[in-house]
Amino acid sequence: MRYALLFVMALPAFPQGSVARGDKLFAQGCAVGYCHGSGGTAARAQRLRGRTFDREYLIKVIRDGLPNTAMPAWGDRLTDPDIAALADYIQSLANASADVAAPVVVDAATPAAPDLGSATPPEHQRGRELFFDATREARCAACHRLNGIGAAVGPDLLKTGAIKISDGPRVIKYGRPRAVRTVVLKDGDKFPGVAVERNGTRYYDLSALPPVLRSLTQVDIQVVQRQTTWRHLTATRSYTVEDMQAVWNYVCWVAAKR
Amino acid sequence: MLRILAVLTMSLYAQNGATRDNWPHYGGQTSAWRYSALDQVNAANVSKLTTAWVFQSGEIDGGMQVTPIVVDGVMYVTTSKNNVFALDAATGRELWSYHYTLPKGFTVFYGPWNRGVAVADGRVFMGTLDNNLLALDAKNGRELWRVQNEDVNQCGCNITAAPLVVKGKVITGVTGGDSAHRGYINAFDARTGRNLWKFWTIPGPGEKGHETWSGDSWKHGGGSAWMTGSYDAELGLTYWSVGNPAADFWGGNRKGDNLYTDSVIALDIDTGKLKWYFQQVPHDVWDFDTAYENVLIDLPLNGRTRKLLLNVNKGGFTFVVDRTNGEFIAGWPLVKNLNWISGVNAKGELQGRNEPVVGKNKIICPSIGGGRSWNQGAWSPKTSMFYTTGIEWCEDVVAVPETPKEGQVYFGGTFKLTRKPMQGEAGGHLGAYDPISGKRAWLYEYKYPLLASVLATAGDVIFTGDAEGFFFALDAKTGNKLWSFQTGSGHRGGPITYAVNGRQYVATPSGWGSALAGLLPQIWPEAERFRAGAALFVFALPEGK
State the Cα–Cα distance between residues B39 and B18, nearest whole angstrom: 12
What distance in Å separates residue B496's CA from the closest CA in chain A? 26
Phi, psi of B398 (to 5 degrees): -130, 130
State which residue of chain B sits closest to A216, comparing Cα positions.
B144
pLDDT in tens, A141-172: 999 999 889 999 988 888 866 677 677 777 77
Taking the CB of residue A118, how many other CB atoms lie within 10 A of it? 11
Domain annotation covers residue B107: no
Of B21, B232, B262, B287, which one is the catalytic site residue?
A: B287
> What DSSP character marks residue A193?
E
In chain B, residues 359-388 whose CB comes closer than 8 Å to chain A: 359-361, 368-369
pLDDT confidence of A211, banded at 50, 70, 90?
very high
SS3 of B367-400: CCCCCCCCCCCEEECCCCEEEEEEEECEEEEEEC
What distance in Å separates residue A84's CA from the closest CA in chain B? 21
Q: Is B434 a catalytic residue?
A: no
At B377 the pLDDT is 98
Instruction: Let me know if B458 is exposed, middle or buried by CB neighbors in 10 A (0-12, 13-18, 19+).
Output: buried
pLDDT in tens, B8-45: 444 444 448 999 999 999 999 999 999 999 999 999 99
State which residue of chain B sits closest to A101, comparing Cα positions.
B416
User: Greater confidence, A28 or A12?
Assistant: A28
Residues in chain B: 545
State the Cα–Cα distance between residues B108 and B157, nearest whole angstrom: 10
SS3 of B307-327: EEEEEECCCCEEEEEECCCCC
Tally of domains within chain B: 1
At A24 the pLDDT is 86
**Alpha helix ranges (H) inside B122-167:** 152-155
Topology of the domain comprising A12-92:
Cytochrome Bc1 Complex; Chain D, domain 2 (1.10.760)
Mean pLDDT by 10 residues, chain B (545 residues): 44 70 98 98 98 97 96 98 98 98 82 96 97 98 96 92 98 93 97 98 97 97 97 97 96 97 98 98 97 97 96 98 98 97 97 96 95 98 98 94 88 88 94 98 98 98 98 98 98 98 98 90 91 97 81
pLDDT confidence of A99, banded at 50, 70, 90?
low
> What DSSP character marks residue B7?
H
pTM for the model: 0.91
Contact check, Cβ <8 Å, A208/B360: no
What distance in Å separates residue A171's CA from the closest CA in chain B? 25
| Cis preceding linkage at B366, omega within 30 | yes
Residues 6+ apart with CB under 8 A from A232: A171, A172, A173, A174, A175, A176, A177
Run of H or E including A64: helix A55-64
CATH classification number, A122-174+233-257, choose in 3.30.70.1400, 1.10.760.10, 1.10.10.10, 3.40.50.1100:
1.10.760.10
Domain annotation covers residue B236: yes
Q: Is B182 on the interface with A (CB under 8 A)?
A: yes
Domain annotation covers residue B308: yes
* Average pLDDT of span A67-87: 86
Domain with B192 in it: 2-29+40-100+112-540
Which residues are bridge partners to B240 per DSSP?
Answer: B265
At A199 the pLDDT is 87
State the Cα–Cα distance between residues B184 and B276, nearest whole angstrom: 16
Q: Closest to B148 (Cβ–Cβ): which among A73, A113, A210?
A: A210
> What DSSP character marks residue B182?
B
Residue B9 belongs to a domain with what CATH number? 2.140.10.10
Domain annotation covers residue B275: yes
Of B326, B306, B328, give the one whose Cα is nearest residue B317.
Answer: B328
pLDDT in tens, B486-513: 999 999 999 999 999 999 999 999 999 9
State which residue of chain B sits closest to A98, comparing Cα positions.
B525
Residues of B in contact with A98 (CB under 8 A): 521, 525
Domain annotation covers residue B106: no
State which residue of chain B sits closest to A139, comparing Cα positions.
B150
State the Cα–Cα distance between residues A72 and B408, nearest whole angstrom: 11
Segment A64-71 long-range contacts (CB within 8 Å, at least 24 positions apart): A65/B107, A67/B104, A67/B105, A67/B106, A67/B107, A68/B102, A68/B105, A68/B106, A68/B108, A69/B107, A69/B108, A69/B112, A70/A34, A70/A35, A70/A44, A70/A45, A70/B107, A70/B108, A70/B109, A70/B110, A70/B111, A70/B112, A71/A45, A71/B107
Contact check, Cβ <8 Å, A212/B145: yes
